[in-house]
Amino acid sequence: MYSIYQEQFIAEDIETVWHFFSNPNNLQIITPEELNFIVLTKQVNVATITDGMLIDYTITPFSKIKFYWQTEIEKVIYPSEFIDTQKKGPYKRWHHQHLFYPKDNGVLMIDKVEYALPFSPISNLFHFVVRKKLERIFAFRKAKIEEIFS
């Protein structure tokens, strides 16, 4: 099992931050274009996530290798936390906890991700490639969030 931890301060009120991150359509905005991230779920015209919501999309993380991914919103605690998990997709396990804490005229946002690769232990030999890609995705996301909320 591997993990990612990222903190980011957003100089905005918690309602605005929650509204942005709890809208599944905004994930496309904070994902690098080269990943060709496409939300397939047509009923994702709702403004906010709910417990048990399923979201289907495709993503192309490596060259022309396209993956189908289904996420379940496992837990929503308005406006401080939500958890999404992969139901179907490229990982053996993907558990992403999003935390939001009001702090110093803004919000401290924390991402905690636990993930495992399929076909372990063989796939663990390639973890460095996956890890590097995930680090670039989260760095892009952080920069994009700074741009959006500046």
Tokens of 10: 């957003």
Q: Pick the closest to residue 87 from 119, 55, 62 (CA basis).
A: 55
Sign of the alpha-carbon dihedral angle for 75, 141, 144, 41: negative
CATH number of domain containing 83:
3.30.530.20
**Which pLDDT score is estimated for 123?**
85
Segments forming the whole domain that contains residue 121: 2-148
> Quick count: other Cβ atoms within 10 Å of Cβ 64?
6
The whole model's pTM is what?
0.92
- pLDDT tens digit sequence for 38-89: 988 876 566 778 999 999 999 998 778 899 999 999 999 999 999 999 999 9
Total domains in the fold of the chain: 1
**Confidence band for 25, pLDDT divided at 50, 70 and 90:** confident
**Which pLDDT score is estimated for 43?**
63
